[in-house]
Amino acid sequence: MIKAGIRIAVPLLMLLLSVSHAHALYSYSDVVSSLEELCASASSPGGPQMRVVELGTTLKGKPILMAVLSAAPVEDPKSSDDVEEPAEEPAEAPAATAPEPGVDAPESDATEPAVLTLTLDPVDEAPAAVEAAIAAPPAGEDRPRRVFILCRQHGNEPASTEGVMRFLKEYATTEDPAKLEILRRVTFLVVPMLNVDGVEKDQRRNARNVDLNRDWLSQSQPETRAIVQAVRKWRPDLLMDLHELHPTDQTPSFVEAMEPEAGARGGVGAACNAAIAAVIGPLREQSIRIYARPVFNYREPRLAHRYFAVKEGVPAILVETRRAWGLALEHRTVVHYAAIVAAARYMAGYELTTPSRVIAEWLEPSANTAYRTAVAKRSGSGGDDKVAEAIAKRQRAQLASRKGKPASVDKKRAELIKKRAAQQKKKTPAKKK
């Protein structure tokens, strides 16, 4: 039986030399030239096969590119749903967001392992059956599973591009039988750089000053419309959205996905939870400080991983790496790369050596007792059933009351929370010195 745990073996330096010293950062032209080189090398019979598809163009006319990587040539799906293009809307200021249920202010502990030691290569054996939580391809589709990897929605978050380009280079040129076995079982659909215009200006937003990761419901931008059309066409079995936190945000790295109470229905919520576990477990085994964030409360699904799970029925996870406290790009790059490989091995059918569902021990230290109880019940690891059921009932009522309301509800709710906090502060008597 194959184990999907990433074992401790190789010093971090050996992994980072090829990541950080070959170039400074991937520019758009670097990505284009690298993809062309990989397509040329990944074309020999019996080896990896890769081609590049143009999904659309940015506001400034730059092609949005997607690499299709597998062990055999992959044709475009025969049919697709056309995406209705909504009328363009002016950019709106980012709405304040309220904290997730049970998660208080982020901790400020800056502790990170001084050295990561990872081995990310799969063992040379045939994979076992794929975990049941990830649904098989639809009936009548005899194909490998598909993983869609979306990078660089925000132009000033470089680690996702660095990590995914490392993955493409290693897997598109491999002769390793074990890696080829993964490519036979999984087709990778990789967008290394969505917000090209933002990258060239080193800014979060696109050329129209719109935050793409708040545009998925309105789809007012050509970049988001191109991805929605591609996802509807290819129907991936898992979507990974890779990001970095703001340099001043002390929140630890985390993986987030939607639960059924948050709107991920029809088995999608269970698949999302399993996908978090498939990434978090192996990475935490390597002492990588990363936490799980299953989302139980309904919110307007304007973010990519929320939109695709709730509105398109595609299991999706968000991977966020911390940049605060000067955490090096090399470290963040390795975390993204490791997350991709962990998900790839899971989708290929490798058995996990860690829990297959999110457990309470993986939550952020600041997560409160009620939140931990709900997660514990969901994972089957115990907890107060009455408390968990009360939480679930309240969240179901919240979901029912919030459906159909505009995105501005989140902003109003955050403003109300802020107002109440200010009122409470006034009521609290000042401590005598």
Q: Report the distance separating Cα 104 and Cα 123, nearest Å.
A: 40
Instruction: Indicate whether 34 belongs to any domain.
Output: yes
Decide if 190 contacts 184 (C-beta within 8 A). no
Q: Report the distance separating Cα 107 and Cα 310, nearest Å.
A: 29
Decide if 154 contacts 213 (C-beta within 8 A). yes
Which domain covers residue 293, as residue numbers? 12-73+112-420
What does R_g of the chain's alpha carbons equal in angstroms? 21
Position 97 scores a pLDDT of 35
Sign of CA dihedral 382, 357, 137, 129: negative
Q: Report the distance separating Cα 362 and Cα 278, nearest Å.
A: 12
Position 320 scores a pLDDT of 98
Could you tell me which of 382, 303, 308, 340 has the C-alpha nearest to residue 94?
303
DSSP type of residue 303: S
β-sheet bridge partners, residue 187: 146
β-sheet bridge partners, residue 244: 321
Q: Report the distance separating Cα 28 and Cα 142, nearest Å.
A: 35
Could you give the count of Cα atoms lying within 13 Å of 1 in the half-sphere of its Cβ? 8
C-alpha distances (whole Å) from 329 to each of 16, 55, 162, 324, 332 are 10, 28, 9, 11, 5
Position 151 scores a pLDDT of 98
What is the domain count for the chain? 1
Instruction: Indicate whether 157 belongs to any domain.
Output: yes
Q: Report the distance separating Cα 343 and Cα 341, nearest Å.
A: 5
Instruction: Indicate whether 379 belongs to any domain.
Output: yes
β-sheet bridge partners, residue 351: 3
Position 111 scores a pLDDT of 45
Report the CATH number at residue 61: 3.40.630.10
Q: Report the distance separating Cα 60 and Cα 161, nearest Å.
A: 20
β-sheet bridge partners, residue 63: 57
Position 298 scores a pLDDT of 87
Position 96 scores a pLDDT of 31
Decide if 238 contacts 315 (C-beta within 8 A). yes
Position 251 scores a pLDDT of 95
Instruction: Indicate whether 90 belongs to any domain.
Output: no
pLDDT string in tens for the chain (433-residue length): 344 444 433 334 334 444 444 457 999 999 999 999 999 998 788 899 999 999 999 999 999 999 999 999 998 987 544 444 444 433 333 333 333 433 333 343 444 433 333 444 333 343 444 444 555 566 566 789 999 999 999 999 999 999 999 999 999 999 999 999 999 999 999 999 999 999 999 999 999 999 999 999 999 999 999 999 999 999 999 999 999 999 999 999 999 999 999 999 889 999 999 999 999 999 999 999 999 999 999 889 999 999 999 999 999 999 999 999 889 999 999 999 999 999 999 999 998 899 999 999 999 998 988 899 889 988 886 544 554 455 556 556 656 665 555 445 455 555 666 676 677 667 666 655 5
Instruction: Indicate whether 223 belongs to any domain.
Output: yes
- The DSSP bridge pattern shows strands 238-244 and 145-151 to be parallel
Could you tell me which of 323, 336, 63 has the C-alpha nearest to residue 193?
63
Instruction: Indicate whether 307 belongs to any domain.
Output: yes
Sign of CA dihedral 389, 390, 392, 397: positive
Residue pointed to by tokens 């639809």:
138
37: Cβ contacts below 8 Å, ≥ 6 apart: none
C-alpha 220: how far from its chain's center? 22
Position 299 scores a pLDDT of 83
C-alpha triplet 371, 375, 380: angle, nearest 5° = 145
Could you tell me which of 124, 120, 112 has the C-alpha nearest to residue 7?
120
Query: How much is the pTM?
Result: 0.77
Instruction: Indicate whether 432 belongs to any domain.
Output: no
Instruction: Indicate whether 85 belongs to any domain.
Output: no
Decide if 107 contacts 243 (C-beta within 8 A). no
333: Cβ contacts below 8 Å, ≥ 6 apart: 16, 19, 20, 159, 162, 163, 166
